[in-house]
Amino acid sequence: NSIWVSTDHDEIEKVAKQFGAQVHRRSPEVSQDSSTSLEAIREFLNHHHEVDIVGNIQATSPCLHPSDLIKVADLIQKEGFDSVFSVVRRHQFRWSEVKKGENKMTEPQNLNPAKRYRRQDWPGELYENGSFYFARRHLIEKGYLQGGKMAYYEMRAEHSVDIDIDIDWPIAEQRVLSFGYFGKEPLKEVKLLVCNVDGCLTNGRIYVTEDQKEMVSYDYRDIVGIDLLKKRGIQVRLISERDCSKTLSAMKLGCIAKVSATNKLKVLEDWQKEMGLSRKEVAYLGNEESDVECLKKAGMSGVPADACALAQKAAGYICKSSGGCGAVREFAEHIFLLLEKVNSARKQ
């Protein structure tokens, strides 16, 4: 019936409202590092007596699909369950832990080593994946997220992603691009990448010789990235606030470029109109405050790792590489992953 974001952070509140959610301002008492989801939910219910059922969606599970939530809501509303939680099937053999110094052997937990079968022939076991917990009000008020007439909802393995530690991030990024939900609007292929020159294609440094000639450095991997984009039918255009036409000419990239651009957004919109593209067919790689509006308008946006804070906030993807050190190539690969997602959706 309603979608709420529980937070004590002004910026999160602002973003949540931009996307149409209502906001519950969480109190300091339930906003500690040690606070549990259940504590935050119980506080929410104390302020919202009209709520009978809560679906707690975990932000650390980014591959959740609306179709799953609809089916789970039906289990409670139409089939009379008191609580429903998400699980995923895993095919892992478990062994008992032997702590250091203990004089005993490990024991099998869910297999017979004498009759060991192939894992792919084994139905596996169900594990909570932490993606969501649905429960009726009376259970939550008693301090439970699970109880009463319970049911589990088995999610597909490719949709089951839980971000707990740093190494989970790159895995989640790949899963979201391959299996994530991108809304009802059909995905579009990227047909144009606009890249800021200074700080993206180059590292932003300008070297001046004694005879006052300017030199810049770039990473050959980025040139390869541009070539790969072109081979995939994606046009690459360059933009710069300064007159770097001599530098671009020397690099021999074969890309249309706009230098001395005082209004990057207008240039971007003019190119988009000229090529007859929708917003979702345009990608933008920027790094400065002057790129922020372009990053917001583009269907896909990215920044190098050393981009300014405002640009990072506006971007959808932050590269691990810095400007002039492979960021263009990395963002190109990010685009290729999206194209795989588009092609997969078409086949389905």
Q: What's the pLDDT tens digit per position in 34-72?
A: 999 999 999 999 999 999 999 999 889 999 999 999 999
Within its chain, how far is the Cα of 345 from the centroid?
18
* CA atoms within a 13 Å half-sphere pointing along the CA-CB vector of 31: 10
Q: What is the CATH number of domain 192-346?
A: 3.40.50.1000
When pLDDT is cut at 50, 70 and 90, the band that residue 250 belongs to is confident
- pLDDT tens, 85-118? 999 999 999 999 999 989 899 999 999 999 888 8
Give the Cα separation of 204 and 291 in Å (integer).
14
pTM: 0.66
Closest CA to 131 of 117, 152, 116: 152
Task: Give the pLDDT band (50/70/90) at residue 183.
Answer: confident
Quote the pLDDT of residue 227.
92
Percent of the chain with pLDDT over 90: 63
116 tagged catalytic: yes
The catalytic residue among 25, 94, 116, 119 is: 116
pLDDT over threshold 90, residue 212? no
**Cα–Cα distance, 40 to 133 (Å, whole number):** 13
Instruction: Please tell me the predicted confidence (pLDDT) of residue 345.
Output: 63
Of 211, 311, 197, the residue nearest 260 (C-alpha): 197
191-219 average pLDDT score: 83
Taking residues 126-149, report their average pLDDT.
Answer: 95
Judged against a pLDDT cut of 80, whether residue 348 lies above it is answered with no
CATH 3.40.50.1000 in the chain is located at 192-346
Average pLDDT score over the chain: 90
pLDDT at 262 over 80: yes
Higher-confidence residue of 275 and 121: namely 275
Closest residue by Cα to residue 332 from 140, 190, 197, 163: 190
Q: Say which CATH superfamily domain 52-91+122-165 falls into.
A: Spore Coat Polysaccharide Biosynthesis Protein SpsA; Chain A (3.90.550.10)
Please, which pLDDT band fits residue 177 given cuts at 50, 70 and 90?
A: confident
Task: Give ranges for CATH 3.90.550.10 in the chain.
Answer: 52-91+122-165
Residue 17: pLDDT over 80: yes
Distance CA 344, CA 108 (A): 40
pLDDT at 223: 92
